[in-house]
Amino acid sequence: MLDPFDDFPVHQTPLPVAHTAGADRNAYDRYFFNGYDRSGSICFGAALGLYPNRSVIDAAFSVLVDGRQRSVHASGRAPDRRDHTAVGPIRIEVLEPLRRLRVVVDAGELGMEADLTFAARTPAVEEPRFTLREGPLTVFDYTRLAQWGTWTGWLRVDGTEMPVTAGTHLGCRDRSWGVRPLGEPPGGAPPSRLPQFFWLWAPLHFDDGCTHFDVNEDAEGRRWHHSGMLVPLGDGGAASSGRAPEPMRDVDWRIDWEPGTRRARRASLRLVPWHGEPHQIDLEPLATFQMKGLGYLNPDWGHGVWKGELAVGTSEWVVAELDPVAPENLHVQQIVRARWQDRVGIGVLEQLAINDHRPSGLQGLFDGAAASGT
């Protein structure tokens, strides 16, 4: 099947753009955005995913204000054309590739509306490829970019409009594509062991630059993925610094877990350059954004699940009233105040910990921390 993009020299395989290189049903292509003001009093997120081998597209938009999180979700049949990045009341527009993107939500009847533009504050950086195999199975195999930016526009919740300005509202976005677990459970033999996953991701803003950190670790703390960078300001245009992101030789982390949960009470990150002294960044959580508001581990609006030709709905909760170790509540992004030398910044610390993780002291499939970890 041909697509208008087939008229451009973008092909990576002999196939037309509409076809994935492989037949894996877990193939996906995804947008993710977060945003927050500098005080951490309001945060929002948006996501849209296309699953071409499942013929599904889904999206969500979620806002956290005063401890209450509201979301609108949409799911439907995937369009034939790859440039139709919209489903139900939610759409993503690429205004200027790798520089400006727009998120529009038109769900006034459900109490949610937004018109927000993300403008790059940094170049986009490519994280190392994520690949995880369990025996003969490929569980993850994808590429992701990350980019820091500012937001402008407005959002409206139940008729209350909140202006969003570049001087006040920051955020990060990622784009990822490849293979990851999603959709309805696969057929065949059941798994031979319980799932285990440990993930930390921390894109941070400072006045004179940004920092990147992530790790994936197994139950013993062995890393199958990690990345760290110092990221200069500039989107590649005339105002760019001309400096390239500086990859780190190594990264490390320390988390003091909130007892009874799998989320941080405080944390610190360590970025180790190839030359010079390590950088330590201390993090203080300000608010907790539940990633289920964007479909992650959401039992009703999970990614890639067929819900019919078009389904639209909402969800709402008070974060403080949720069970923090219920499976659907484990995946969070905490808005954090970041301190690095004499700099004070803001960003997120994303966390998802399932099953044992010896370095952090976490035990059991979903058990909360009994005491402060390492």
Q: What is the pLDDT of residues 108-131, one digit of tens each?
A: 999 999 999 999 999 999 999 999
What band does 242 get if pLDDT is binned at 50, 70 and 90? low
**Lookup result for tokens 């990060």:** 172
pLDDT tens digit string along 30-78? 999 999 999 999 999 999 999 999 999 999 999 999 999 999 999 999 9
Calpha distance 265→372 (Å, rounded): 9
Query: In the predicted model, is pLDDT for residue 19 greater than 90?
Result: no
Maximum Cα–Cα distance across the chain: 58
Asked whether the beta carbons of 180 and 39 are under 8 A apart, the reply is no
Which amino acid appears at position 262 of this protein?
Answer: R
Say if residue 285's pLDDT is above 80.
Answer: yes
Residue 171's DSSP bridge partners are: 35, 149
Angle at 268 between CA 207 and CA 232, to 5 degrees: 30
According to the model, what pLDDT value does residue 372 have?
53
What are 143's two structure tokens?
């590429």
pLDDT of residue 241 exceeding 60: no
Could you give all domains of the chain from N- to C-terminal order, each with its CATH number? 25-181+193-360 (2.40.370.10)
**Dihedral, 21, 22, 26, 28 alpha carbons, nearest 10:** 0
Q: What's the pLDDT band for 374 if we cut at 50, 70, 90?
A: very low
Within 10 Å of residue 307's Cβ, how many Cβ atoms? 18
Cα(144)–Cα(131) distance, rounded to whole angstroms? 12
CB 350 within 8 A of CB 333: yes
> Does residue 9 have a pLDDT over 70?
yes
**361 CB-side CA count, 13 A:** 18
Average pLDDT in the chain: 94
Checking if the pLDDT of 280 tops 80, the result is yes
